[in-house]
Amino acid sequence: MDLRFDGKCALVTGAGQGIGAAIARELGAGGATVVVADLDPDSAGAVADEIAAAGGTAHATQVDTGKPDQVEAMVDFAANAAGGPHLLVNNAGIGGPRAPVGEYPLESWHQVIDVNLHGVFYGMRYAIPKMQAAGGGAIVNMASILGSVGFAQSAAYTAAKHALLGLTRAAALEYAGEGIRVNAVGPAFIDTPLLQNLEDEMRAGLIALHPVGRLGKPEEVAALAAFLLSERAGFITGSYHLVDGGYTAQ
């Protein structure tokens, strides 16, 4: 499927590696001008350079999505650099420590919620007015399988991803009449740099959770995100799409 985004500015957070980088590359290959945003400016710059080397157009910027002033500045940067943003992928997220609810560190709770939930709200809060001015747009919020199921000792992450789905649906209803679509994607365990340093036994355990018998690939998530952002998905909004190798079908 040839998805084109010519003339569009696409803003992707957490795009310095993993799923975010794969989405940025996919959109760049489709003709979008991509703003690669990440907490690590060197990683963001490297991905932007890679897109440019492949014949695309990209700009890099640093952002901590848990801080509203930085998110506002990021959106303004995208508007000044390439217009828009017409497309937004709120992908940045952190996992947090593993601990039961009764022992979960308060500082970590707030940090995970700030990045994984508040950061998504901030992204939409500042990008949607730009989309309204441009006559429409599309947003993908990166959830997780843990937006629909629980996972022991990951209370903050699970709570944030569940809440993200409600936020996605509310925004979709509010802006459907203005040509702005909002959807969520829920990956299972994806083979990103965060998982590549696991011990063999732990990695095998994660693989065993997926009926397809392997971890997902960042490019598989990127393909779905790109479709949802494209005009081919023009009748899809307010929905949650899993990329989970059968994980939640069990």
Residue 162: alpha-carbon gap to chain centroid: 15
Distance in angstroms (rounded) separating the CA atoms of residues 62 and 16? 10
Which residues carry out catalysis? 157
What's the mean pLDDT in 43-47? Answer: 98
Q: How confident is the model at residue 24 (pLDDT cuts 50, 70, 90)?
A: very high
51 has pLDDT over 90:
yes
196 has pLDDT over 80:
no
Q: pLDDT tens digit string along 111-160?
A: 999 999 999 999 999 999 999 999 999 999 999 999 999 999 999 999 99
Q: What are phi and psi of 162, to 5 degrees?
A: -60, -45
> For the chain, which domains are there?
9-249 (3.40.50.720)
User: What pLDDT is recorded for position 178?
Assistant: 98
Distance in angstroms (rounded) separating the CA atoms of residues 216 and 159? 23
Q: How confident is the model at residue 1 (pLDDT cuts 50, 70, 90)?
A: low
Question: Which of 101-110, 139-148, 199-208 has the least mean pLDDT?
Answer: 199-208
